[in-house]
Amino acid sequence: MLTANTALLREEDDVLVDIRDYVARQENKGLLRFLTCGSVDDGKSTLIGRLLFDTKLIFEDQLAALENDSRKHGTAGDEIDFALLVDGLEAEREQGITIDVAYRFFSTPRRKFIVADTPGHEQYTRNMATGASTADVAIVLVDARQGILPQTRRHSMIASLLGIRHIVLAVNKIDLVGFDEAVFERIAAEYRAFAEELGFETIQPIPLSARYGDNVIRSSGKTPWYEGPSLLEHLETVDIEAEAEAKPFRFPVQYVSRPNLDFRGFSGTVASGRIGVGERVSVAKSGKQTRIRRIVTQDGDLEVASEGQAVTLLLDDEVELSRGNMLVTPQARPHVADQFSATLVWFDEKPLLPGRSYILRTETDEVSATVSQLKHRRNINNFAEEAATSLDLNEVGLCNFSLQAPIAFDAFSDNRTTGAFILIDRLTNATVGAGMIQRPLRRAANIHWQALDVTRQSRAELKHQKPAVLWFTGLSGSGKSTIASLLEKKLHAAGRHTYVLDGDNIRHGLNRDLGFTDEDRVENIRRVAETAKLMADAGLIVLVSFISPFRAERRMARELMNEGEFVEVFVDTPFEECARRDPKGLYAKALNGEIQNFTGVDSPYETPERADIHIETTARAPEELVDEVEAWLKERGYC
């Protein structure tokens, strides 16, 4: 006969077993990531709030807070405003819009979900792209009263570019058009026709009312003409596992773990595929092969690691491997190149300028990169390829990229993790673009630096001088060329080997094909900087006299040169003084509108923030300024 204590212990054991079974079931469930997108006020946040509410995933205190917030900020009258569940920022609640991406987790008996609620406003398109970058399914909401809008098209195109292959066309607010089947069919047909070129594998149109829950988690009796699944039923059954299992193994190394002499592991998250102990792997960049000795996790060793698992891999051999590289399947290695073509979504209010140097960051690597060619821009309305010289905010284009060093990557269509990158502005550190790699440019493999027996050091020693690039920058008429010319005469008289690069000898030859738009100015300075670098390699002191109005290009020029070789000289002359001097009559023409894109008038000049030499020219003779620059150079051993 059981005692009370024995019965209690057995009951506790049963509860413990139930809890363990529950945890095991949760761990074995598949995970689906999806996002809601579309135009403003199409009901994205309301739909997610309704999903959470109807699946009983809102706690009592959350519901009480939601009812209170609905009275204060709601737009649904006396009813609960479900959008406030995910619109957490005060600015979002005050304006009734979504600004940032909000992520929510929920689970049903069949599947786990992570949903990203993304903003509909055009100015926050970059946030929508962030949410779409990891999603498997996109729910594109359309207001039944409005139909397909430009932002519907833009978000659908970005979803396609970011590798999403399953679309739910949620025709929302169907209650406001009287649950009219004809309206639903018209919108569904229009969307299918427009999305035909986007390459989606499935498009599931669903008529629903996010506010009242029609067709959200179960079929609604108000739409007897609709025979398809409810939204939740479709999300629970859409098949994405087969796609993940087919991908080759990719393991970007994020950290080298070396706690002691006997342990050297490579930590990261499996980007795709699977790997087991004893299986062969290759180092992506070098091609060196080895085997997996151990798969280490915080909870103990594993025999197999699959996509999405964070692990530390120990290898049989001491191969060269560090952050920025990958372990991969030997039979399906990624591309390694320093040039590729990619689709680019531009996020910055300042336009993309081909030739400007940006920081390109992948899953683990980071290199300097430039857009060597903008091949075309995509029209979001008809997907036409249009000629363009730059990309503006939210525009999409196909670009060729040139990188400072090779990286390992896959085509984005093959692997969304290892085929994606972001662009970062070198000056502001702002993310200005997101890219999806299409293919390597094979010519990159045929170009190698020539190893020369005669070095830059030997050339400089022959000339008994220290190579330098003196970069004179300032407004037109500031005196740059005058100072550079006088300085060269003094250096030449002292036996120094010099050369002056300015508009007269560059614009009429090397850069005769360039105009004065911002794009052409960037390319102009890029070519000048590359030329100056070659001359410095020859051991010369190069005096570069160009307005070079943008800080980004001056920084790019500095980073091209060896340490200490670049000297920025800011010839600081006020605009009024330059206009008064006006040696070529250009200011008068520009101020009268006869010349376009003139620096200081209708094109900006970004003054240096920390010039190596800062000379103010007002009320000073050119010879005095030259002596100042020469003294600076002598003090530091340049001449």
Count of CA atoms in the C-beta half-sphere (13 A) of 475:
27
Residue 93 Cα to chain centre, angstroms: 28
Beta pairing partners, 468: 541
Residue (of 455, 463, 483, 459) closest to 471 by Cα position = 483
Please identify which residue in the block is written with the tokens 């000795």. Answer: 293
CB 131 within 8 A of CB 119: no
Residues with a catalytic annotation lie at 548
Contacts of 238-243 with CB under 8 Å at 24 or more apart are: 238/32, 238/136, 238/137, 238/166, 238/202, 238/204, 240/30, 240/32, 240/136, 240/137, 240/166, 241/30, 243/165
Beta pairing partners, 545: 472, 502
Length of the chain: 639
What DSSP line would sit under 318-384, residue for residue? -----TT-EEE-GGGPPEEEEEEEEEEEE--SSPB-TT-EEEEE-SS-EEEEEEEEEEEEE-TTT--
Residue (of 321, 70, 80, 324) closest to 210 by Cα position = 80
- What is d(CA 521, CA 524) in angstroms, rounded to the nearest whole number? 5
Beta pairing partners, 255: 267
Q: 131 exposed, middle or buried (CB, 10 Å; 0-12, 13-18, 19+)?
A: buried
DSSP character at residue 469 = E
Which H or E run includes 12?
A: helix 4-28
Find the DSSP H helices in 508-615: 518-537, 551-560, 575-581, 586-591
Which distant-in-sequence residues (6+ apart) come within 8 Å of 543 by Cβ?
Answer: 470, 472, 484, 487, 488, 498, 499, 500, 501
Q: What is the 3-state secondary structure (H, E, C) of 472-495?
A: EECCCCCCHHHHHHHHHHHHHHCC
| Dihedral (CA of 589, 591, 596, 597) sign | positive
Helix pair angle (150-161, 181-194), 10° resolution: 50
Please identify which residue in the block is written with the tokens 């609604």. Answer: 220
Residue (of 377, 352, 375, 605) closest to 476 by Cα position = 605
- What is d(CA 265, CA 390) in angstroms, rounded to the nearest whole number? 44
Q: Look at phi and psi of residue 479 and say left if phi exceeds 0, alpha if psi is from -120 to 50, else beta.
A: left
